[in-house]
Amino acid sequence: MTKVSIIGAGNVGATVAQYLATKNLCDVVMLDINEGAAKGKALDLTQAIALTGGSAKITGTSDYKDTAGSQVIVITAGSPRKPGMSRDDLLKINASIVAGAARQSHRHSPNAIFVVVSNPLDIMAYLVWKETGVSTSRVIGMAGVLDSARFQSFIAEELKVSAEDVRAMVLGGHGDLMVPLPRFSTVNGVPITELISKKKIDAMCKRTANGGAEIVNHLKTGSAWYAPGAATAAMVEAIITGGRKLYPCSVHTGEKHGLPAVFTGLPVVIGKRGVERVIKLKLNKDEIAALQASAKSIEENVKRLNELQAEAAKPAAEAALSAAPAAPPADASTKATDTSAKS
């Protein structure tokens, strides 16, 4: 059976494992620095499968060797932002965690496709691509699938219809500047612009952009995991089954729509090769401007990430230089020979 490894056995990682195991799609390895948490959740899920049915093998570990030969690597590991922690602090901490996870995973599964869930998501997707050196088609960030599901649920709630009949599209970065696209969001083929007033659509777009924060405010501690887990599992399923699903995901722009060369949400077809192709929509001026603003914000954060990594590497480089032994002085005869040779 296909193997999928999930780096980070927190709420999101464990929920991804649960969805995949319940569908009997693949064997799952859950890796966490806290080996006990990974093994305990793997055992719990194994016992659940005895009731729900299936033959998937679920393993918990802290050793990257156990992830060898994975077709897909899902990276959910990272630290939440804590009181008193600056954005730079969070970026440095999670960049260190994600970079290490990407390198180690790639070492043991050089042909794997990476699905990135850790935040800040678009920047972490860029980092995984940078650290592994794999093609851009093999690094996909989970953002638009989740954001579109939130928009989809709000549309269904407003119209009192089944969410299954709704298709929503949200592009751009996974943050305040995400770009919901009402023109490309439909109910059984009917654009929502024909069914809902602009005022209500604008309110739903704003609620979608604040979707994660709304859940955090209710929970008080922690953040969403059911919908992020379901969104990630849907992406993994499309990859391992060759489903060729059209999803909005954080991918390398290829500078489409005049965007900088970063990872941001665009509509893509996902299959066995990862990103099979990027779909270029016919956006209007306002939509393009919003997408460019979102990508520009990501570009600025990527530049800051590169600066922080350079600052972190500088002391180590200086220490290595100072520890290096000095070259022995040349003796007199050597100097004489060198001089005569030059003359």
pLDDT attached to residue 343: 33
The strand pairing partners of 251, in sequence order, are: 264
Decide the pairing of beta strands 190-191 and 245-252. unpaired
* Class of 144-293 in CATH: alpha beta
What pLDDT band is residue 337 in, cutting at 50, 70 and 90?
very low
Which residues in the chain belong to E strands, given as ranges?
3-7, 27-31, 58-61, 72-75, 113-116, 139-141, 166-167, 170-171, 179-180, 186-187, 190-191, 245-252, 263-271, 274-278
Residue bearing tokens 């600066």: 307
Distance CA 99, CA 105 (A): 10
**Residue 190, pLDDT score:** 97
pLDDT band at 332 (very low <50, low <70, confident <90, very high): very low
Residue ranges per domain, the chain? 3-141, 144-293
* Mean pLDDT of the chain, nearest integer: 92
The structure's pTM equals 0.90
Q: What is the mean pLDDT of residues 300-314?
A: 91
Question: Would you say residue 334 has pLDDT above 60?
Answer: no
% of the chain residues with pLDDT over 90: 81
Q: Which pLDDT value is given to residue 335? A: 41
CB 242 within 8 A of CB 274: no
CB-hemisphere CA count at 13 Å for 293? Answer: 11
Is the pLDDT confidence value at 309 over 80? Answer: yes
pLDDT of 203 above 60: yes
Predicted pLDDT of residue 328? 59
Note the pLDDT tens digit of each residue in 55-84.
999 999 999 999 999 999 999 999 877 767
Q: Give the pLDDT of residue 341.
A: 38
pLDDT at 331: 53
3-141 homologous superfamily: NAD(P)-binding Rossmann-like Domain (3.40.50.720)
In the annotation, is 108 catalytic?
Answer: no
Instruction: State residue 88's pLDDT score.
Output: 79
Alpha-carbon Rg for the chain, nearest whole angstrom, is: 24
Q: Of all helices (H) and strands (E), which one includes residue 11?
A: helix 11-22
Average pLDDT over residues 99-119: 97
> Per residue in 206-251, pLDDT tens?
999 999 999 989 998 889 999 999 999 999 999 999 999 999 999 9
At 326, the pLDDT band (50, 70, 90 cuts) reads low
Check residue 209 and give its pLDDT.
94
Short-list 93, 169, 168, CA closest to 124 = 93
The pLDDT assigned to 316 comes to 65
**Residue of 108, 174, 252, 257 marked catalytic:** 174
pLDDT for residue 19 is more than 70: yes
In degrees and rounded to multiples of 5, residue 150 shows phi and psi of -65, -45
Q: What is the pLDDT of residues 259-299, one digit of tens each?
A: 999 999 999 999 999 999 999 999 999 999 999 999 999 99
Closest CA to 105 of 11, 31, 166: 31
Instruction: In whole angstroms, give the CA distance from residue 16 to residue 161.
Output: 27
